[in-house]
Structure 1
Amino acid sequence: MEKTYSYKGFEVSVKLESVRAVSSEFTYGPPVGYVAVVSICTEDPRRPVGAPIALVSEGNRVFDTVDDALATGLNAAKRVIDEKGAP
């Protein structure tokens, strides 16, 4: 899943990567959580701002829900943009 947001002249993309359970009983189990991969680009012209950042929850754990992963990814991008200064 990937969601794109606009914030202060930047385009923020939050892509979720599913983390699946590992078991000898099955090949692919249900997702046990998500890692948020955040990319920031300028909107016009479209240029990347730094490298994509992979985020996990506190304690180096995956996010339990899609909503938590998306919200954390967007909030992290907003902090980066606010620290760098909007165009």
Structure 2
Amino acid sequence: MEKMYSYKGFEVTVKLESVRAVSNEFTYGPPVGYVAVVSICTADPRRPIGVPIRLVTEGHRVFGTVDDALTAGLSAAQRVIDDRVAP
């Protein structure tokens, strides 16, 4: 899943990577969580700001829901942008 946001003249893309449990039979189970991969670009012209950021929870665990991962990804991008454009 991928979602794009606009924030203070920047484009933020939060892409989610599913993390799946592997059973003993080598088949994939349902997702056990998500890693958020955050990319920030200038809006016009479109240029990347740094490299994509991979996010997990503070306890180094994957996010349990799509909403948690998307919210954390957007929040992290907003902090990076605010630090970059702060006077």
TM-score band, normalised by the shorter chain? over 0.9
Gapped regions of structure 1 (runs ≥ 5): none
**Per-residue deviation at 1:29?**
0.7
| Structure 2 runs not aligned, ≥5 long | none
1:8-43: CA deviation from partner (whole Å, max 9, x where unpaired): 000000000000002113511100000000000000
After TM superposition, what 4+ stretches of structure 1 lie above 6 angstroms from structure 2? none
| Matching of residue 19 in structure 1 with residue 19 in structure 2 | yes
**TM-score with structure 1 length normalisation?**
0.95
What is the aligned-residue RMSD (CA, Å)? 1.0
- TM-score scaled to structure 2, two decimals? 0.95
Aligned residues: 86
Instruction: State the identity as a percent.
Output: 80
The aligned counterpart of 2:73 is: 73
Deviates more, 1:14-23 or 1:25-34: 25-34
The residue number in structure 1 matching 2:57 is 57
